[in-house]
Chains A and B, each alone.
Chain A
Amino acid sequence: MTTTFDHAQLNDFRSKVLAGEEIDETELRGAIEYLANLRAGIASTAAPKSKSTKAPAKTKAKAAKDAENMLGDLLG
C-alpha cells in the first residue's frame, strides 16, 4: 500500500479523534500507515513480522546464563 496521507491530514485525524467524531476506515488506515512510516523500524504495517520478537543476541545469551544461575538458586 502506498500512502498519500500527509501531515495536515494526520493533524485533522487527531482533531477528529479528540472531538469524538466518526473516523472513516480509509482515514484510519492512512493515519496508521503514515505513522508507521515516520521512523525506521518496521518495513510495513501491511506485512507484520511472522515471528515473535527477536531479542538482541547479547540479551538472549545473557538471559540463558541468568536462567541457569537462577535455576541453581531456586533448586538450592
Chain B
Amino acid sequence: MSFADEALEAVEDMEANPTVELIPIADLTMPEVVDNTQLSDYAKCPKMFYWARLQGLQPGAQSIHLHAGKAFAKAMEDFRVCYFGEGGTFDDAVAAGLYAIIRAYGEPTEAESDEYWIASAKSWEGMACAYIHTVHNWDPRHDALKPVTDDKGKPTVECSFAIPLDVNNPSTGLPYLFHGRYDLLASYGGSLFVEDDKTASQLGASWSGQWDLRSQFTGYCKGAKAFGVGVAGAIIRGTAILKTKITHAEAIVYRPDFLIERWEHDVHHILLNMNQSFEQQFWPTLGTFNEGCNAYGGCDYKQLCSSENPEAWLSNYHRNFWDPTNPDGEEVKND
C-alpha cells in the first residue's frame, strides 16, 4: 500500500470512527482556575487555548517528554520527602525516589515497545539514570540549598497555592483563581527562593537565559509572597538527558516587586482578552504569526487548524480537561 493509500485509509477511518465531538458553543465554559500553562497557551495562540482548554482535546498519543518529566518530578519529590521529611539516610532517599520513578513510569506499555520510545533518551532506564545522577550532583548532604520547613516541621516540597485575580470569570461571575505549584521552597545564601527542577534534551548556552523573565517563576514568586513568604526569586536546576550522558546546570533569577506588579498587569490583560474571545467566540490563530505552530516539534492542534473540516480529525484526540489543581488526574476523594 502506498503512502497516499495509507493516508486516505487513515482519513476514512477517522471519519468513520469519530470518538469525540466538539462541545457546542452554548455549553462551553471558561476554566475557574488558571495556571501559567493556560495563560501561556492563550498568549501564544488563542486557537490552541480553545482546542486544548475549552474543548478539552488532547492528542491520542502520549508525549514521552511529558510522561518522563512527570515520573522524574515524582522521584525528586519522594527523594526529598524521605531525606528531609522522614529523616531517611541518603541511600534510603535514593531508593525511595527510584521506586517512585519506576511506579510513576508504570508498567511497560504498548507505546514503550515502540521504536521511538526504545530509542528515546527518555526511556525509563534513561530517566532513572538521570534521577540518580541528579541527586548525586546536588547531594543534599553538601548542598547549600536547604528546604524551608513549615510550622509542622515538614519540608516545603511540592508547594501549591491559589490566589484570586482581579478579573471575573464570565462563566461563574467569580474571580479567576491563579494556581501554581513549585518543587521546593528553599533558603540559599541567606535568601528564600522557589526551586524548580527541569529536564531537558540539552543544556546549551541559552538554557539559563530563558528563565530570566519567564512568567512561570514570576507567578510562583507572586504566590509565595501572597502567603507572606518573601522570596527573592527562583532557582532552576536543569538535568539534560542525552543518550550518552547526563549533564546539569543551575540558573538563579530574581523577581523584584516591579516585575511581579508587571506580571499582574500582564495576567489581567490576558484574562480580559480571554473573556473577550469567549464572549465573541472568536479564537484567532495567532500561532501562525509567531511560530507557535512549529514550537516543540509542532503544535498538537496543527492538524485541526489545517483542515477546513476539523471534526474529521477528532478521532485523533481524546477529551481530558486540564485541571491545574490535579495535574496527575487523580480521582478526588471527598472524605
Q: Which residues of A are interface residues toward B (Cβ below 8 A)? A: 10, 14, 17-18, 28, 31-32, 35-36, 38-42, 45, 48-53, 55-56, 58-59, 62-63, 66-67, 70, 73-74
Bound Cα distance A32, B76 (Å):
15
Can you list the 3 inter-chain pairs with the closest CB atoms, starting with the nearest? Answer: A70-B254, A41-B246, A40-B245
* Contact assessment for B258 and A45 in the assembled complex, using a CB-CB cutoff below 8 Å: no
Q: Given A32-B95, A48-B139 in contact, is the A18-B129 Cβ separation under 8 Å?
A: no
- Residues of chain A within 8 A (CB-CB) of B246 are 39-42
| Chain B residues numbered 81-136 whose CB sits less than 8 Å from any CB in chain A | 90, 94-95, 98-99, 102-103, 106-107, 124-126, 128-130, 132-133, 136
* Contact assessment for B256 and A59 in the assembled complex, using a CB-CB cutoff below 8 Å: no
B143 CB within 8 Å of chain A: yes
Instruction: Given A32-B132, A49-B137, A67-B254, output 11 extra A-B contacts at Cβ < 8 Å.
Output: A14-B124, A35-B129, A36-B129, A36-B132, A39-B245, A39-B246, A48-B136, A52-B138, A52-B145, A53-B237, A62-B209
Q: Which residues of B are interface residues toward A (Cβ below 8 A)? A: 90, 94-95, 98-99, 102-103, 106-107, 124-126, 128-130, 132-133, 136-139, 141-145, 205, 208-209, 212, 233, 237, 242-254, 256-258
* Contact assessment for A73 and B138 in the assembled complex, using a CB-CB cutoff below 8 Å: no
* Contact assessment for A14 and B136 in the assembled complex, using a CB-CB cutoff below 8 Å: no
* Contact assessment for A41 and B138 in the assembled complex, using a CB-CB cutoff below 8 Å: no
Bound Cα distance A43, B194 (Å):
30
Q: Given A38-B129, A42-B136 in contact, is the A49-B142 Cβ separation under 8 Å?
A: yes
- Residues of chain B within 8 A (CB-CB) of A53 are 137-138, 143, 237, 248, 250
Bound Cα distance A40, B252 (Å):
26
Shortest C-beta distance, A56 to chain B (Å), equals 6
A67 nearest in chain B by CB position:
B254
Bound Cα distance A12, B316 (Å):
35
* Contact assessment for A38 and B126 in the assembled complex, using a CB-CB cutoff below 8 Å: yes
B203 nearest in chain A by CB position:
A56
* Contact assessment for A17 and B126 in the assembled complex, using a CB-CB cutoff below 8 Å: no
Shortest C-beta distance, A19 to chain B (Å), equals 10
* Contact assessment for B137 and A42 in the assembled complex, using a CB-CB cutoff below 8 Å: yes
Partner of A63, one of B98, B125, B251: B251
Shortest C-beta distance, B235 to chain A (Å), equals 10
A44 nearest in chain B by CB position:
B136
